Amino acid sequence: MEIIEGGVCAAKGFTAAGVHCGIRKNKSKRDLSLIFSEKKAAAAAVYTTNAVKGAPIAVTKAHLEDGFAQAIICNSGNANTCNADGPEIARQTCEYVAEELHISANDVVVASTGVIGLPMDIAPIKAGIPPLAAALGHHSEQAAEGIMTTDTAVKEVAVSFEIGGKTCKIGGIAKGSGMIHPNMATMLVFITTDCAICPQLLQKALRTDIAETFNMMSIDGDTSTNDMVVVLANGMAGNPEITEENAEFAAFMKALNTVNVYLCRHIAADGEGATKLLECTVTGGKNKEIAKTVAKSVVCSSLLKAAMFGADANWGRVLCAIGYSGAAVDVNKIGVAFRSAKGEIEVCKNGAGVAFSEEKAKEILLESEIDILVDLHDGNAVSTAWGCDLTYDYVKINGDYRT
């Protein structure tokens, strides 16, 4: 497997574009994105578990009931959530895309991100779709820009891998900076691949991997209303279609996981106001569920996030988060260490503090990527979760997000 350029346009048969259509006031920011496959593709998706859901979620769910799609349209600047005419706007958006691309409206995935409860006008979207479709090309970065809200950086990646003697490619773009918590989904992610795989196994691959990637990430503890992860697989690489869980399926899963982990890390690192990426790795768990519960609890701790912002080796907050996680652990066995490019330092052993250099710990924690290493010393299960520090800027950004 190899990391390559191209994002969602790396895979054969996929094009993309992004334009400013007028939803957002800032004309320099793209606010409408389109991804198109020249062939109808197998499709899979996972959605937010929030009971309040954006109108595009229901429309997309209905369109993917047959397991296929050909285009993805997404706007930023307005979530199209809690609006009486929201479903109709989402459906109309699909119809305008279908008309422009000469495909069925039922083969269009629709998504929105932005302010919740803000009235939405279909006019700018309708006007923006023709130039958007005309701009389709190898413009993954444009599409990634068009779905950004408070993000400060484009998030895209692609990899190549071998299936059945054929070179396949898979790539993705994502948006996500705030209102992110591991309770699927946690942002918007669009993934494309030219690997041939049946819809049923594509859905299983996505749902299985989500449990180890996007569901293991938290920025601020809020689960959004519009989140979804969508994968399109058009089969244009020419490999024999994957229809059973064999070595080829395992290879596809590995490629998908590589893309998802990359996007997870970049979403977490770009958390609203964040200055540091936090990666918590738990080892020695009695079972996988315990390891996952502990890792998620640690990265979700607001107190720990604040300590990491201040480069304070307050390991007691790690143990505190483990203690209220509900996981069945033996506190007297737990070890904790912090690691970064500046080195590694043990701060807790057998559930108690150990002597360490505060100066060295601060040097380690001043880096932009921090590893929080937790050893439960109770088994062989391992799990990783991602998060970021909690800063003054997070409050500033969200204090006037709507106004």
**pLDDT in tens for each of the 403 residues of the chain?**
999 999 999 999 999 999 999 999 888 899 999 999 999 999 999 998 888 889 999 999 999 999 999 999 999 999 999 999 999 999 999 999 999 999 999 999 999 998 899 999 999 999 999 999 999 999 999 999 999 988 889 999 999 999 999 999 999 999 987 655 656 555 899 999 999 999 999 999 999 999 999 889 887 766 678 889 999 999 999 999 999 999 999 999 999 999 999 999 998 888 888 899 999 999 999 999 999 999 999 999 999 999 999 999 999 999 999 999 999 999 999 999 999 999 999 999 999 999 999 999 999 999 999 999 999 999 999 999 999 999 988 888 778 766 5
Q: Are 309 and 301 in contact (CB under 8 A)?
A: no
Separation CA 202–CA 204 (nearest Å): 5
What single-letter amino acid sits at 369?
A: E
Nearest to 54 by CA among 223, 208, 207: 223
Strand 343-349 to 352-353 pairing: antiparallel
Q: Are 191 and 256 in contact (CB under 8 A)?
A: yes
Nearest to 85 by CA among 123, 130, 127, 51: 123
Separation CA 386–CA 214 (nearest Å): 9
- pLDDT at position 327: 96
- pLDDT at position 394: 82
Residue 197 is classified by DSSP as B
- pLDDT at position 186: 54
- pLDDT at position 26: 87
Q: Which stretches does DSSP call E strand in 176-274? A: 188-193, 228-233
- pLDDT at position 182: 55
User: At residue 248, what are phi and psi to the nearest 5 degrees?
Assistant: -65, -40
- pLDDT at position 225: 82
What's the CA angle centered on 221, arms 216 and 227, to 5 degrees?
Answer: 70
Summarize pLDDT for 83-125 with one digit per residue, the tens: 999 999 999 999 999 999 999 999 999 999 988 999 999 999 9
What single-letter amino acid sits at 219?
A: I
Separation CA 99–CA 109 (nearest Å): 14
- pLDDT at position 181: 63
Q: How many CA atoms lie within 13 A of 33 on its CB side?
A: 33
Domains of the chain: 2-269 (3.60.70.12), 277-399 (3.10.20.340)
- pLDDT at position 346: 98
What single-letter amino acid sits at 29?
A: K
How long is the chain? 403
| Residue 258: active-site member | no
Helices (H), 117-246: 123-134, 140-146, 199-210
Burial class from Cβ neighbours inside 10 Å (0-12, 13-18, 19+) for residue 42 reads buried
Catalytic residue among 186, 192, 213, 283: 186
